[in-house]
Chains A and B, each alone.
Chain A
Amino acid sequence: MNLDFLAIAPTVAITVAVVLLLMVDVTFKVGPRWWGIVATLGLVGATTASVWQWVEYRGPDGELFFSDMLAVDGFSSFAGMLIFPIAGLGLMAGWQLVKGVGRRGAEFVALSLIAASGAHLMAASANLIMLFIALEVFSISLYVLAGFTRKGEGADEAALKYFLLGALASAVFLYGIALVFAATGTTSMYGAKAFLDSTLILRPGILLAGIALLLVGLGFKVSAAPFHVWAPDVYQGAPGGVTGFLAAGAKIAGFAAMARVLVIPLGSYIDDWAPAIAVMSAASVIIGTLFAIAQTDLKRMLAYSSVAHAGFIMTALVAGPAGIGDMWFYVATYAFQVVGAFAIAAVVSGALTGRSPLSDYAGLSDRSPLLAAAMGLFMLSMAGIPLTSGFIGKAAVFRAAINADYLWLVILGLVAAVGGLFFYLRLIVVMYMQPAPDGAAHPQLHFGTRFAVGVTAVVTIVVGFVPWPLLDWVKDAVPL
């Protein structure tokens, strides 16, 4: 058995931080400052461990550990290098929420860390059962986080809806695992791959049904149409300080799991699942864009836009293994944009409240020029305007799809991207071309928000101007 402490170092770092946080909090009744310090140490430790893994195991040097339960390769370490900083930025953006809920703040921080760890494990699982456990660790933490201000308007509804639909999706996913096990005789992804690569299954009905169920379960997690209906209500109802991490984390973890499941065990069945992915991608892009146009609430609009982005990301997956690097590029840049955008929403509309009507943003450029500029940048980037990271992301995924002969999907995606301008530009119009209502408050910027917005904006611009290093790195972020 291949045992190595480094393989579980990120998870250990987070677990230690969580235990420390809860024990110290119960024993010494310390304040948010100490929670922040412990969380920072845990996340920095986990990020460092992921970077170390990246250095040791990326590209062709990946290895399996713990009876083939965990894969440590470029894929999982890249996910770690992404999810832990994103969790940190999400916590900083939501720090007003942590302070605002009194003693329960420590729970909030701990749950965020556990969710991040679950997300990382989803990317690192080499066994379908392991993947399911990681998925549940991640999801259950998020259910609680979504309803954290349970007395707040919409938060209880958001949490319950997320939980019920999420539990259903988990059940479907588990059923999918069972069917794949029935067809291949193993739950190990690499074992299944070896079996499927060497065996011709004459009647693959059970396997195909299993693939379909796995896709439904993961499609739910990444909010791809037609399994997206939870997203708008959850995004809108969840408190402002949570939504950014919820949105970004779900994309990172969901797509990591989806990519590994599709490419490793089911890689030889690409001709069966690629068309399904293409259809889901097309549906997500169209439905997400059309419904986003009709929204008057920023968080709801961003929820539908995230459905569209799920579609764009899946555009890369139709290319199979060749598209994974491009998928990571898009996921990584989108995660930064969405955390930044929700960090601003948490300031303007409040970290504890759910709703964020567009009218909150009227004349923001006069009240807070920097926030408006950053928000405008995130909108342009999500719309895919050049010199932002969003443009390169779209170029990357469309390139992958054209390479795989999915020109129709690319044209559809590009037309939908133009449709997306309708709502991205509307927010800019509201911020820059409408006067602020009388007596509108000047948003208060705390350190956490400044830091989160600053980092995400800088990343969005720098990667937009100089994407080449990241494009080179993601080539190594492929599964073993």
Chain B
Amino acid sequence: MTFPILSALIALPVIGGLVVLLVKRDDLALPLSIASSLVTFGGAVWLLFAFESGEAGFQFVEKSTWHEPWGVGWHVGVDGISLLMVVLTAFLFPIALLASTAITHRLRQYAASMLFLQAGITGVFLALDLLVFFIFWEAMLVPMYFIIGIWGGERRVHAAVKFFLFTAFGSALMFAAILSLGFLASDQLGGPTFDFVELLGADLTRNAQFWLFAAFGISFAIKVPIFPFHTWLPDAHVEAPTAGSVILAGVLLKLGAYGLIRFNLTLFPEAAVDLVPVLAVLAVIGIIYGAMVAIVQTDIKRLVAYSSVSHLGFVVLGVFALTTQGLQGGVIQMVNHGLTTGLLFLLVGMIYERRHTREISEFGGLATVMPLFAGAFLFTAFASIGLPGLNGFVGEFFVLIGSYLSLPGYAIAAAFGVVLAAVYLLWAYQRMFTGEITVEANRGLSDLNLREKIIIIPMAALVVFLGVYPKPALEIIKPSVDAILERIEEKTDYVVPDFGSTGDIAVEVGE
């Protein structure tokens, strides 16, 4: 038997968290948790290189049955889409923990919560049994709830409860759908099962697909969030501590989009094709609305939060364009958004630790006292806007050409989102960093210290790498994406539109 690397990736953070709780030393909590998350990251990197990137199916599969009458068991596996997400998760956690030095209260519980959260998120990406998926999905809420509610800002309790209730409401619908799906399929598959791969073999009526798609879809739409389910997001983002915001934006939001790709597109293909117009409209509204609301924010953290709504709109548009390029772009955009928005939240956290305010009007002319910080912010803003050569460009470009193939009108409307992104980020940069120093308190601010550089450099390096040479990432995604589209073509009369030379485009952009 081969080493169960995927189970290990889920178990390692849990073990780390227990160690942190049991070692009763607050000063060791952060070092221990960072060490634990680095070990997990090592495992994820190994997984990245051991992964056969030409294959479409699940790899490193572990499977065993827990309870026969329920058809539930431990089934984990990784394909191109979940691989990138797992690596992104493992990459962001050490960084987020390193950025948690501002936390002084109940440090051990904090570090343990973060590690349990990591285990939950990794579990969601890897689970291939719907009930196990749901268990991770819900269990992950609890540590995040505590992270926002105990270590957050002033209105943290409100934000934490709102976050929990929104997600739990969506989960309730999904849970009903999961149970129903298990039974609907049980006649055809000879016994109840929650196994995702087996459920793919079930033939569901159009009507059943519609309701199940809706139940799963609303749950994921709340998580993404797709307009109009986004209202929990600004509160949660703004009140969460820096590391919480980074994880929330970096990986938690991706869970929703991942769920849409993994479950909605494959289990309910007919409903997915039918509902493309609805989701495309909501995605475009999210892109434009999120960007416009971001423009008028006076709080820089809230601005970044709304920019997430806009960026995630691109992901959803790409996914429901139902083209190879669109789906590839959607997945790569998930990674990109995790990096750039995570970096933006880290930078906002750094300035907040210095000044204890996030009001844009409290800053101005910071570039003269903090040149490195200003440079890092501008660099990240460019990546987020989609400047060619940085990662944001690759994702948005793929999403736009992919959706232009199938939904040209929406693609044109969405393109304005890119322009608006330039408006809100560059305008914020202008107000915060250029000109003369207007507020006296800003005069003595120190520039980036060593720890902060260590946080920024690896993320910035990845931003450039994915911008200049996205080919390996795109190649990992492509077979999995094509498999999903082939399944849709096989189950419905939908034909995936194409330029006729899909592979060439990936190569052209790559080189």
- Interface of A toward B, CB cutoff 8 Å: 380, 385-387, 391, 395, 398-399, 402-403, 407, 410-411, 414-415, 417-418, 421-422, 425, 429, 432-433, 467-468, 471-472, 475
Contact = CB atoms under 8 A, between A and B. Distances in A.
Contacts of B70: 399, 471
Interface stretch (B30-38, B172-180, B394-402): B172-180
Contacts of A432: 146, 149-150
B183 A385 contact: no
B176 A399 contact: no
Interface string B360-398: 000000000000000000000000000000000000000
A391 B138 contact: yes
B138 A386 contact: yes
A417 B172 contact: yes
Given A399-B179, A403-B183, A414 B173 contact: yes
22 contacts: A380-B142, A385-B138, A385-B139, A385-B141, A385-B142, A386-B139, A391-B135, A395-B131, A398-B176, A402-B183, A407-B180, A410-B176, A411-B173, A414-B173, A415-B172, A418-B168, A422-B165, A425-B165, A429-B157, A471-B70, A472-B67, A475-B69
Interface in B57-80: 66-67, 69-70
Contacts of A380: 142
B161 interface: yes
Contact of A414 (B67, B69, B136, B172): B172
Contact of A407 (B141, B172, B176): B176
B229 interface: no
B135 A387 contact: yes
Contact of A429 (B66, B142, B149): B149
B134 interface: yes
A415 B173 CA distance: 8
A52 B155 CA distance: 56
B210 interface: no
Given A417-B172, A418-B168, A471-B69, 20 more contacts: A385-B139, A386-B134, A386-B135, A391-B138, A398-B176, A402-B183, A407-B176, A411-B176, A414-B172, A414-B173, A418-B171, A421-B165, A425-B145, A425-B165, A429-B157, A432-B149, A433-B156, A433-B157, A467-B67, A471-B70
A401 B135 CA distance: 20
B499 interface: no
A391 B172 CA distance: 12
B67 A471 contact: yes
A403 B176 CA distance: 12
B175 A414 contact: yes
Contacts of A471: 67, 69-70
Contacts of B165: 418, 421-422, 425
A410 B179 CA distance: 10
B164 A425 contact: yes
Contacts of B138: 385-386, 391
B465 interface: no
Interface residues of B, number: 32
B416 interface: no
B179 A398 contact: yes
B176 A429 contact: no
A32 B25 CA distance: 41
The A interface, classified by DSSP as helix, strand, loop or mixed, is: helix
Contacts of B175: 395, 398, 414
B427 interface: no
Interface in B137-195: 138-139, 141-142, 145-146, 149-150, 156-157, 160-161, 164-165, 168-169, 171-173, 175-176, 179-180, 183
A402 B165 CA distance: 24
Nearest to A420: B168
A410 B160 CA distance: 27
A398 B168 CA distance: 17
A468 B66 contact: yes
A421 B142 contact: no
Nearest to B137: A386
B109 to A, nearest CB: 9
B470 to A, nearest CB: 36
Nearest to A472: B67
Contacts of B183: 402-403
B152 to A, nearest CB: 9
Contacts of A433: 149-150, 156-157, 160
Contacts of B179: 395, 398-399, 402, 410
A365 to B, nearest CB: 8
A398 B180 CA distance: 10
A104 to B, nearest CB: 43
Nearest to A373: B109
A423 to B, nearest CB: 11
A399 B131 CA distance: 12
Given A418-B169, A471-B67, A387 B139 contact: yes
Contacts of A411: 173, 176
Most buried by B among A387, A414, A417: A414
Contact of B67 (A387, A410, A468): A468
A266 B164 CA distance: 43
B186 to A, nearest CB: 9
A418 B172 contact: yes
* Most B-side CB within 10 Å, residue of A417, A429, A471, A472: A429
A425 B139 contact: no
Contacts of B180: 402, 407
A355 B149 CA distance: 28
Contact of A421 (B69, B134, B164, B176): B164
A414 B150 contact: no
Contacts of A415: 169, 172
B176 A414 contact: yes
A385 B176 CA distance: 15
Nearest to A380: B142
Contacts of B136: 386
Contacts of B157: 429, 433
Nearest first, the 3 A-B pairs at minimum CB distance are: A414-B172, A386-B135, A386-B138
A34 B146 CA distance: 45
Contacts of B142: 380, 385
Nearest to A467: B67
Nearest to A394: B175
B176 to A, nearest CB: 5
A210 B481 CA distance: 62
A411 B178 CA distance: 12
Contacts of B176: 398, 407, 410-411, 414
Nearest to B211: A407
Contacts of A414: 172-173, 175-176
Contacts of A425: 145, 161, 164-165
Contacts of B66: 468
A291 B103 CA distance: 38
A15 B168 CA distance: 48
B122 to A, nearest CB: 15
A279 B142 CA distance: 32
Contacts of B69: 471, 475
A468 B277 CA distance: 43
A433 B158 CA distance: 11
A433 B161 CA distance: 11
Contacts of B135: 386-387, 391
Contacts of B173: 411, 414
A322 B142 CA distance: 33
Contacts of A403: 183
Nearest to B136: A386
A115 B169 CA distance: 40
Contacts of A395: 131, 175, 179
Contacts of A429: 149, 157, 160-161
Interface in B98-157: 131, 134-136, 138-139, 141-142, 145-146, 149-150, 156-157
A402 B142 CA distance: 27
Contacts of A407: 176, 180
A369 to B, nearest CB: 9
